Every structure is written in C-alpha cells, then in structure tokens.
C-alpha cells in the first residue's frame, strides 16, 4: 500500500494468526516440561496434561490442534487408549504417540498411526509435529 501523504510505501500488518495449540500428555513431569519448552520455542502454544483423563477434560474446553501423548501413563487409559477415544470423538485431530519403551525407531506393535520414539531430538519432535499440522499432513501413517 502506498501512503499518499508522504509517498512512502506502507505494508499493512498481516493479520495475527494464533499459533496452533498442542496438548502434551506425559506423566513424567520433567519430560512434559522439556517437551513443552521445545514446542513453545518453536512457536507453538502448549497445554499440558499428566494423564489421559486430564487430557480429555482439557480437550472439552480448549481448541487443541494436535495431541502428543506418551503410551505408558497412570490411570484407566494409557496413550493408545486415549488415541482410540480421540479417533472416535475427533477423527480429524492429529494424535502423535511417543514412547521410550520400544526398540529405537520401532512403534509399539499395536500402533497404526504417527509415532516418535523417545528419546527424541528437538528437531525430530518439531518436524513430526509440523508434518501432522500441515495442510494435507496425514493423520494415518
């Protein structure tokens, strides 16, 4: 846009688009905190849950764009069960499962979707999250 008063070019401010909100579901406080920090440093908004039941309560109230969940957690639902519930309730919501209790690079045998093995690097985490948030990113592997 050109400012007719002084002849200077003036670019309009782009509309502010809120960063996607990522729900991190992890029972280990330090892992949850570090994962949240990595994602916030990458420009995402983050909300945390310590177990699946807490995650489900958060999902009732927050506009979550993606869920990153550990497999082994306390409570009635583990991460795989949480993923199953979310597939029924919100089939378009990307859910990435993570675990350190598997062979490196190999997802749990009963998992048929996005997976990232622990320990993961910040770059690997950000790349995985970005892939599944991108338009046309796949929810199923």
pLDDT tens figures, 32-79 = 999 999 999 999 999 999 999 999 999 999 999 999 999 999 999 999
Q: 13-18, long-range: CB within 8 Å, 24+ apart, which pairs?
A: 18/45
36 within some domain:
yes
Domain count, the chain: 1
Burial classification of residue 111, based on how many CB atoms lie within 10 Å of its CB (0-12 exposed, 13-18 middle, 19 or more buried): middle
8 within some domain:
no
User: What's this model's pTM, rounded to 2 decimal places?
Assistant: 0.83
Give the tens place of pLDDT for each residue, 74-85: 999 999 999 999
- What's the sign of the alpha-carbon dihedral 21, 55, 51, 137? negative
13 within some domain:
no
Burial string for 31-53 (b: 16+ CB within 10 Å, else e) reads bbeebbebbeebebbbbbbbbbe
φ and ψ of 115, to 5 deg: -145, 140
**Max CA distance (Å), the chain:** 67
14 within some domain:
no
51 within some domain:
yes
Residue 94 is encoded by which pair of tokens?
A: 């990307």
3 within some domain:
no
CATH number of the structural domain spanning residue 94: 3.40.50.2300
Preceding omega of 36 cis (within 30 degrees of 0): no
140 within some domain:
no
52 within some domain:
yes
Domain of residue 91 covers: 21-133
């Amino acid at each position: 846009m050109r400012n007719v008063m002084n002849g200077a070019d003036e670019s309009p401010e782009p509309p502010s688009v809120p960063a996607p909100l990522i729900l991190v579901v992890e029972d280990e406080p330090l892992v949850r905190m570090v994962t949240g920090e990595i994602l916030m440093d990458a420009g995402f908004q983050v909300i945390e849950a310590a177990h699946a039941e807490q995650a489900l309560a958060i999902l009732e109230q927050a506009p979550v764009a993606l869920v990153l969940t550990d497999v082994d957690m306390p409570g009635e639902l583990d991460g795989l069960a949480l993923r199953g519930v979310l597939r029924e309730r919100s089939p378009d919501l990307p859910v990435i499962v993570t675990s350190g209790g598997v062979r490196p690079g190999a997802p749990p045998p009963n998992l048929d979707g996005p997976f990232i093995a622990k320990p993961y690097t910040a770059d690997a985490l950000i790349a995985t999250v970005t892939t599944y948030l991108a338009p046309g990113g796949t929810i199923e592997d």
